[in-house]
Chains A and B, each alone.
Chain A
Amino acid sequence: MESDQTEQPARARGSLIYRQPRAVRLWHWLNALAVIVLLMSGLMIFNAHPMLYWGHYGANHEMPWLEIGSTGARGFLRIGHVTIPTTGVLGLAGGDERAFPALVTIPSHYDLAAARQWHFFFAWVLVLPGLGFWLWGFLSRHIQRDLAPTARELRPASLWHDIKDHARLRFPTGEAARRYNILQKLSYMGVIFLLLPTMVLTGLTMSPGIDAAWPWLLDLFGGRQSARSIHFICASLLVGFVLVHLTMVMLAGPLNELRSIVTGWYRLPRERSR
């Protein structure tokens, strides 16, 4: 770190490049908004019945595989036969007996009808721009050129190399920073083509109207209650993605990263002395 600051002036600043096209930036922010509102309203919807089941049916007489609740003055999260005390965070927080606390739900008070209204409106904000991004991404070849991993990148040795670099927080510099690295590519592709579509499809599977129109959804996910469980699991994975994504932004240089996703312009990090 210190040696970087005393480097020769010629290498002190990398060149400014146009890295993020307008479509990427627009979709990124629309999607960020949609995901945040969907997550928070979704947690309120979950609070209405904070239990998850597998299969077609599941209600109070069945054994949920996941449950958030409270007994007396204790909040708990139970997964299978493992019960984790969560007083103050989940199940019971600030005297409220609710699965997820007011801090993270929309609305902050219990209102299932309003949460559903928020959720279904922002589902459109997720789906319509998302389809637009897919279309633009393929037509402009952004997906094929910038996001699709190459065969060389997928070799175990190169994957391992990238994992080691990440673990040491050694991020690409100079020319290598123009491109997404393989872990970035895999996580972005995973979100865009796996997690987000699964969120939408499992969401649709919970709709009795859509189930009548597209019964194959029930077969794909193994029933409405399974779809509800998968919806929750994928939402948790998305939260994980967002946390890692934000952490990486902070570690890689928050101002430079933020500028590139707002204005499109990114300053290449200085070459690291080998």
Chain B
Amino acid sequence: MISITRRRLIGSLGMGAGGLLLSGCDRIAASPKVQSVLQLGEGLTMRAQRLVTDRTALAREFSAADMSPVFRTNGNDMPESDEYQAHAANGFADWRLKVDGLVRRPLALSLAQIKAMPARTQITRHDCVEGWSAIGKWTGLPLKLALDAAGLLPSARYLVFHCADDFDGDPYYESIDLIDAFHPQTILAWAMNDRPLSIGHGAPLRLRVERQLGYKQAKYVMRIEATDSLRAIGGGKGGYWEDSAGYQWYAGI
């Protein structure tokens, strides 16, 4: 008698709890008050992480033997705009990276100029918000050098990366704060796995901000804008996925 009771019990407990929570949770989750409380956790998480993390703490760098045999592409793998297509067709010879906004000397750098500047190479792990990871080798210009050349104004707080790709007409963009911008591993990568960056992985230039998730690693970077606030840009939340699907701006977790 007891064994039947126990079996039925386990099943009914599981089903009952699930069913009750199912309808309840979605209703609770939709409330703006609940949303604002949950966002407190997000702020707490970022501050706690920053508290225990040295500003210059490096993401682990791996050896060539540790690299993923195949590094999958994700997100857009071919920007659709005519402008980008034209740049791609002539090998990005006329393409220029603009650095503007709150800077003393706005820049327009050619790919050749960027490649002639000092480069950093790092074999790092790329973590998608969905859960997978891939290890690849990135070579590029430390962002700090570009920022030093442009001369950030004291009022600058964030860097916004405007990209050539879009989702249904909404342009991709991302943003980081100056702690990550001046981090030694934050680079504008123009090569991957010892080859020129492919279009699938973001040619001609892709941001690598190694202590954050994949959606922060903006591909097809066209323009870097220094700003004091993210409110006036896009949907105001600091990035395409942040605006369109509510992903966390701080993607260190």
Q: Which residues of A line the B interface, CB within 8 A?
A: 36, 40, 45-46, 48-49, 51, 53, 56-62, 102-104, 106-109, 111-114, 116-118, 120-124, 169, 206-215, 218, 224-225, 228, 243, 246-247, 250-251
Contact = CB atoms under 8 A, between A and B. Distances in A.
A112 B129 contact: yes
Given A40-B25, A56-B66, A61-B69, A120 B53 contact: no
Contacts of B17: 36
A104 B252 CA distance: 27
Contacts of A207: 49, 252-253
Interface of B: 2, 5-6, 9-10, 13-15, 17-19, 21-22, 25-26, 29, 37-42, 44-45, 49, 52-54, 57-60, 62, 66, 68-70, 72, 125, 127-135, 210-213, 241, 245-248, 252-253
Contacts of B134: 57, 59
Contact of A212 (B40, B44, B60, B129): B60
A49 B41 contact: no
Contact of A243 (B10, B66, B125): B10
B49 A209 contact: yes
A107 B49 contact: no
Contacts of B130: 48-49, 112
A49 B130 CA distance: 6
A120 B59 contact: no
B9 A250 contact: yes
A121 B13 contact: no
B22 A108 contact: yes
A251 B13 CA distance: 13
B1 to A, nearest CB: 9
A215 B245 CA distance: 31
A108 B20 CA distance: 12
A212 B53 contact: yes
B209 to A, nearest CB: 9
Given A56-B125, A102-B22, A117-B42, A45 B68 contact: no
A214 B58 CA distance: 10
A237 to B, nearest CB: 16
B29 A208 contact: no
B58 A212 contact: yes
B211 A212 contact: yes
B59 A208 contact: yes
21 contacts: A46-B131, A53-B132, A58-B132, A59-B68, A59-B134, A103-B22, A108-B26, A112-B245, A116-B129, A117-B38, A117-B39, A206-B127, A206-B253, A208-B210, A208-B252, A213-B52, A213-B57, A214-B52, A225-B132, A243-B13, A243-B14
B19 A60 contact: no
Cβ-closest 3 pairs across A and B: A209-B252, A121-B41, A213-B53
Nearest to B252: A209
Given A210-B49, A213-B52, A61 B21 contact: no
Given A40-B25, A113-B248, A120-B41, A228 B6 contact: no
A43 to B, nearest CB: 10
B42 A215 contact: no
Contact of A121 (B15, B38, B53, B135): B38
B72 A56 contact: no
Given A117-B246, A243-B10, A56 B53 contact: no
A204 B59 CA distance: 14
A207 B253 CA distance: 4
Nearest to B185: A212
A117 B247 CA distance: 9
Contacts of B9: 246-247, 250
Nearest to B28: A106
A60 B72 contact: yes
A114 B212 contact: no
A98 B234 CA distance: 32
Nearest to B25: A106
B10 A209 contact: no
A208 B212 CA distance: 6
Nearest to B3: A169
Contacts of B49: 207, 209-210, 213
A32 to B, nearest CB: 11
A211 to B, nearest CB: 6
Contact of A57 (B22, B57, B125, B245): B125
Nearest to A128: B44
B2 A120 contact: no
A125 B190 CA distance: 43
